[in-house]
């Protein structure tokens, strides 16, 4: 049976989705490839940064995760979502704020070590020529000869200064479900968007039969699709981004026109320089034959003052 869900690419829908603790644990467990035992959104961390330029929706979580060996530890998860292309400086600025936030220091650490952090980027656009929808960027430690260091790793000092990242490219999600993560991310698959209404994705609920967590996610998104306030919020986002795209298109066209004008000016300057060089060579040749500047000007039809400038005299 086909069900219609609200499109979680929209900030309002995504926020509604991630506010549910069970869903947040399900999505983050799949992304981290670890069992998220407990999770809590950091207070006052919902934000739409720099509305005048881009949308960079951010949520920070504090999570207890269980490793494959059964050990549990506490981490911070910084989740950022954008559906417009943006310069990486925006992400770095937000990341810098997290590094300098005193709340992210482990209070049980006498040395003042930071709580280990993982950053997750949900992108509504592709990154260069990378084809994989999900990219894991993990740090390792090496000695001078390139040998991996394992003794003493992970170390709290190193973990305080570097972090792992997960980059999700939403466009390459094309409905193939080969693992748990792809199943979870399938609710973001934009190829399932309704042709007449991009607010809605159409999913085959049989795909998730027997999977309680996924059925729960689909049910919450189905509720969102039927909520009039949510639909209005998506309309507002469409209007906002349409205005941004129109503005950016105008800026792009203006910049293109300026570049074309600059190119024309450079070509004219080049031709003028070449012409001046030819005139200078001719004037010098005539001057060597004993002709005066006035005679050369009369012969060439070039003003005496310009001849002086060309000849440098």
Q: State the first-to-last Cα distance of the chain, in angstroms, to the nearest integer.
A: 89
Give yes or no: residues 151 and 283 share one domain. Answer: no
What's the mean pLDDT in 203-207?
90
Q: Give the length of the chain.
A: 313
Buried b (16+ CB within 10 A) or exposed e, 53-81: ebbbbbbbbbbebeeeeeeeeebbbbbbb
What's the mean pLDDT in 270-295?
80
State the Cα torsion 163-23-42-244 to the nearest 10°. Answer: 80
d(CA 266, CA 264): 5
Mean pLDDT of the chain: 83
Q: Which of the listed residues 226, 250, 277 is the one where a domain comes to its end?
A: 226
Q: Give the chain's domain count.
A: 2
53, HSE (Cβ side, Cα atoms, 13 Å): 8
Give yes or no: residues 211 and 284 share one domain. Answer: no
For tokens 């300026």, the residue is 258
What's the mean pLDDT in 212-229?
94
pLDDT at 103 (0 to 100): 73
pLDDT at 52 (0 to 100): 44
Residue 154 counted as domain residue: yes
141-185 residue pLDDT tens: 999 899 999 999 888 888 888 889 999 998 888 877 788 999 999
Give yes or no: residues 20 and 118 share one domain. Answer: yes
210, HSE (Cβ side, Cα atoms, 13 Å): 1
Give yes or no: residues 291 and 200 share one domain. Answer: no
Residue 161 counted as domain residue: yes
Give yes or no: residues 106 and 30 share one domain. Answer: yes
Residue 235 counted as domain residue: no
Give yes or no: residues 160 and 212 share one domain. Answer: yes
Give yes or no: residues 123 and 24 share one domain. Answer: yes
pLDDT at 157 (0 to 100): 86
In the predicted structure, residue 54 carries a pLDDT above the cut 50: no
Give yes or no: residues 292 and 150 share one domain. Answer: no
Q: Which of the listed residues 226, 250, 281 is the one where a domain comes to its end?
A: 226
Residue 197 counted as domain residue: yes
Give yes or no: residues 169 and 46 share one domain. Answer: yes
Q: Which of 41-55, 126-140, 180-194, 221-235 has the lowest mean pLDDT?
A: 41-55
Buried b (16+ CB within 10 A) or exposed e, 298-310: eeeeeeeeebeeb
In this structure, what are the phi and psi dihedrals at residue 57, rounded to the nearest 5 degrees?
-80, 125
Residue 243 counted as domain residue: no
Residue 260 counted as domain residue: no
Give yes or no: residues 63 and 176 share one domain. Answer: yes
* % of the chain at pLDDT higher than 70: 87
pLDDT at 243 (0 to 100): 62
Are 76 and 45 within 8 A, CB to CB?
no
Residue 124 counted as domain residue: yes
Are 132 and 149 within 8 A, CB to CB?
no
Question: What is the domain extent for residue 283?
Answer: 266-311
Other Cβ atoms within 10 Å of 35 Cβ, number: 14
Distinct helix (H) and strand (E) counts, the chain? 9, 9
Residue 302 counted as domain residue: yes
d(CA 157, CA 74): 15
pTM score: 0.69
Give the three-state DSSP class for 102: helix
In this structure, what are the phi and psi dihedrals at residue 279, rounded to the nearest 5 degrees?
-60, -40
Give yes or no: residues 217 and 270 share one domain. Answer: no
């Amino acid at each position: 049976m086909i069900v219609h869900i609200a499109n979680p690419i929209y900030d309002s829908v995504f926020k509604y989705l991630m506010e549910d603790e069970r869903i947040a644990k399900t999505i983050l467990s799949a992304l981290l490839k670890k069992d998220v035992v407990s999770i809590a959104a950091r207070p006052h961390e919902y934000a739409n940064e720099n509305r005048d330029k881009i949308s960079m929706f951010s949520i920070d979580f504090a999570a207890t995760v269980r490793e494959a060996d059964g050990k549990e530890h506490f981490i911070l998860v910084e989740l950022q979502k954008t559906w417009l292309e943006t310069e990486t400086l925006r992400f770095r600025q937000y990341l810098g704020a997290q590094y300098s936030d005193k709340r992210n220091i482990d209070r049980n650490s006498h040395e003042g070590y930071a709580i280990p952090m993982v950053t997750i980027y949900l992108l509504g656009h592709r990154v260069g020529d990378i084809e994989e929808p999900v990219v894991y960027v993990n740090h390792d430690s090496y000695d001078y000869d390139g040998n991996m260091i394992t003794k003493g790793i992970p170390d709290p000092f190193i973990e305080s200064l570097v972090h792992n990242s997960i980059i999700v490219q939403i466009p390459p999600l094309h409905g193939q479900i080969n693992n748990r993560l792809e199943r979870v991310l399938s609710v973001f698959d934009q190829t399932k968007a309704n042709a007449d209404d991009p607010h809605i994705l159409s999913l085959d609920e049989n795909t998730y039969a027997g999977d309680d967590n996924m059925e729960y996610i689909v049910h919450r998104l189905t509720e969102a699709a039927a909520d009039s306030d949510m639909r209005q919020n998506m309309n507002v986002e469409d209007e906002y981004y349409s205005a941004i795209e129109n503005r950016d298109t105008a800026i792009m066209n203006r910049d293109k026109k300026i570049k074309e004008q600059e190119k024309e000016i450079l070509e004219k300057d080049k031709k003028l320089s070449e012409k001046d060089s030819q005139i200078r060579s001719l004037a010098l040749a005539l001057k060597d034959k004993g002709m005066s500047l006035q005679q050369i000007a009369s012969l060439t039809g070039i003003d005496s003052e310009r001849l002086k400038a060309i000849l440098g005299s």
